[in-house]
A and B are shown apart, each in its own frame.
Chain A
Amino acid sequence: MLSTLYAVLFYVATIILVVGTGMKVARYARTPAPLKIPVSPAPRTKRGVWFRMFREVAFFQSLFKSNRWIWIFAVLFHFGMLLVLLRHLRYFTQPVWWWVDLIQPIGVYASFAMLAGLGGLLLRRIVVPRIRYISNPSDYLMLALFLGIVLSGMSMKFLMPVDILGVKQFFLGLMRFQINELPTQPGVLIHLALVATLMIIFPISKLLHAPGVFFAPSRTQVDNARKFRHLSAWAKQLPPLPEGIPEPEEGK
C-alpha cells in the first residue's frame, strides 16, 4: 500500500519535474531579447561566451565578484549537492558505474558541506537585516526543504541505518515499471516524501535559476554591438536593411 503510494508519487513527481521544467525552458528559449545587454566586461566572441558561461556555472564568477560570503556558502552547498546527487546514482544503476563506486564514499563528507552551506544561507536571511527584509516565505521554504532532505538523509547514514538494498530494489523496480516493496523505516519515508515535494515544486520555484542562467541575455550575449546590428527574431521580418549596414551574426 505504502509502496504503491510512493511509486505513484514518484512517477507523478518525475513527470512534473521533466515536463514542467521543459516547458519553462521552452518559454525561456522563445522569450525575445530585443536589446544588446551583456554585462561588461563581456566577451566579444562566441567562444568567449562559452568560456564565460563555464566560469559562471563552474565557479559562480559573478557571485564571487559581488559577495564573497554568499559565494562561500553557495559553493559549499552546490558542490556538496553535486557530489551527494552523484553518489545517489548507485540506487539507479545496476551494475553500479565504476566512477560512482569511486566517489561514493566522498559523497558522505559532501553532505556536511551541503549542511554548512545551507546553514550559512539560512543564517544570512535571518541575521542580515536588509536580507531579512526582502526575504519571502518561499526563500525560507526552499532552504527548509533542502535542510529537511539533507538532515533526513544524514540521519539514515549516521544515526538510524535503513535497508538500502530494499530502497535500491524499489527504484530499480520503478525504472522497470514494477512496484517493489519499499522499506518503511521513517527515515526513508520522510526523505523520499521531501524529495518528491522538491521535484514537484521545482518547475514553479526560484530553483529554476539552474536552467535559467543559460538564458540570461546579460551573460549569454556576445559584446559585438559595434560590429554587428543586433536583431531579435521579430525584427528580422521587417523590411531589409539600408545599404552599408552589415547583417547580424546570429539571432541573439
Chain B
Amino acid sequence: MKRLVTTLLVLIGLSTGAAMAGSTYPDIPKAVGAPHPEGNDYMRLNHMRLLRHDRNLTVHDGDRSIKYSIKECVACHAVMGPDALPISVQEKGHFCRNCHEFAAVKIDCFQCHNSKPEDGFIDLLKQNPPATDDEIQAYLDGMSQ
C-alpha cells in the first residue's frame, strides 16, 4: 500500500513537471476572402488530399483548370509581417506553419512553390476586405442548417 501511494505521488509529480505554461493549441490566423464552402473542419482533415489530388491532375495529366490552386490557398491565408507584407513559411506565424509545427508534420509544398502570394494575388487581397466576425458567424450558421 505504501509503495502504491509513493508511486502515485511520483506519477503526479512527473505530470505536474511536464505541465509547462502556454497554450496547448496552435494559433490559427484568420484568412481573407470567402470561407471554404466545405467548411473548416473538412479542410483541416482533407487539405492534404485535395492538394495531392490536384498535384496529380496537374503534373501527371496536364489539367491546369482545376478547382483548387495552392496559389489561392497561399493568397487568402497570407499572414502579414511587421512590414505589412506577406511572410514566408520560413518565418514564425505563417498560416501553414503553426499547425504543422504543432503536429510535427513536414510540408514539402514550398520546396518548389512560393509560400507567399504572388503580385497578382496581392492585388486580389486588397480588393477583398477581410471577413468580419459577423460574416463568418453568418456563414457558419448557414453551414449548420
Question: Which residue of the partner chain A has the closest CB to B47?
Answer: A161
Question: Which residue of the partner chain A has the closest CB to B19?
Answer: A176
Interface contact B104-A161, CB-CB below 8 Å: no
Interface contact B45-A163, CB-CB below 8 Å: yes
Interface contact B11-A15, CB-CB below 8 Å: yes
- Whether A136 sits at the interface, judged by CB under 8 Å, is no
Given contacts A19-B8, A104-B105, A168-B102, contact A161 B24 (CB under 8 A): no
Count chain B residues whose beta carbon lies closer than 8 angstroms to a beta carbon of A: 27
- Whether A177 sits at the interface, judged by CB under 8 Å, is yes
Q: Mark B1-41, 1 if CB is under 8 A from A, else 0.
A: 00110011001000110111010111000000000000001
- Whether B101 sits at the interface, judged by CB under 8 Å, is yes
**B99 shortest CB reach to chain A, Å:** 6
Residues of A within 8 Å of B18, CB to CB, are 175-176
Interface contact A161-B103, CB-CB below 8 Å: no
Interface contact A104-B104, CB-CB below 8 Å: yes
Q: Which of A46-54, A93-101, A191-199, A215-223 contacts B (4 or more CB under 8 A)?
A: A93-101
Residues of B within 8 Å of A23, CB to CB, are 3
Interface contact B25-A169, CB-CB below 8 Å: yes
Residues of B within 8 Å of A180, CB to CB, are 24
> Once bound together, how far apart are the Cα atoms of A169 and B22, in whole Å?
12
Interface contact B103-A100, CB-CB below 8 Å: no
Interface contact B24-A169, CB-CB below 8 Å: yes
Interface contact B24-A176, CB-CB below 8 Å: yes
**A7 shortest CB reach to chain B, Å:** 13
- Whether B48 sits at the interface, judged by CB under 8 Å, is yes
Given contacts A15-B11, A18-B7, A26-B3, contact A168 B19 (CB under 8 A): no
Residues of A within 8 Å of B99, CB to CB, are 165
Residues of A within 8 Å of B22, CB to CB, are 94
- Whether B49 sits at the interface, judged by CB under 8 Å, is yes
Q: Mark A78-108, 1 if CB is under 8 A from B, else 0.
A: 0000000000001000111000110011000
Interface contact B7-A22, CB-CB below 8 Å: yes
Interface contact A163-B3, CB-CB below 8 Å: no
Interface contact A161-B19, CB-CB below 8 Å: no
Partner of B41, one of A26, A163, A164: A163
Can you list 11 pairs linking A and B with CB atoms under 8 Å apart? A14-B11, A15-B8, A18-B7, A23-B3, A26-B3, A94-B20, A163-B41, A165-B99, A175-B15, A176-B19, A177-B16
* Given contact pairs A15-B11, A105-B106, A161-B46, a sample of 19 additional A-B residue pairs in the complex whose CB atoms are under 8 Å apart: A19-B4, A90-B104, A94-B102, A96-B104, A100-B104, A101-B106, A104-B105, A163-B45, A164-B103, A165-B99, A165-B102, A168-B24, A168-B103, A173-B24, A175-B18, A176-B15, A176-B19, A177-B15, A177-B19
B residues neighboring A (CB under 8 Å): 3-4, 7-8, 11, 15-16, 18-20, 22, 24-26, 41, 44-46, 48-49, 99, 101-106
